[in-house]
Structure 1
Amino acid sequence: MKITPLEIPAVHLIELEQRQDERGFFARLSCQTELASAGLSGNWLQVNNSLTAQAGVVRGLHFQRPPSAEVKMVRCARGAIFDVAVDLRKKSPTFGQWIGRTLTAENREMLYIPEGFGHGFQSLAPDSEIIYFNTANYAPELEGGVRHDDPDIGIEWPLPISFTSERDNALPTLRNFEPMQLV
Structure 2
Amino acid sequence: MQLHRDRILSTALELLNSYGLADVTMRRVSTTLGVAPGALYWHVANKQALIAGMAEEILSPVEGSDPVDFAMNLHATLISWRDGAEVASAGLAFPDSHAWDTLIDKLSASFDSLSDQTISDDSIHAAALAIAHLVLGATQMEQSQQQLLDTTGEGQTIDHVPDIRRGVEIIVKGLRAPL
TM-score, normalisation: structure 1: 0.26
Q: Kindly indicate whether structure 1 or structure 2 has the higher relative contact order, using CA contacts under 8 Å at least 6 residues apart.
A: 1
Q: Which has the higher strand share?
A: 1
Normalising by structure 2, what TM-score? 0.27
Larger Rg, first or second structure (1 or 2): 2
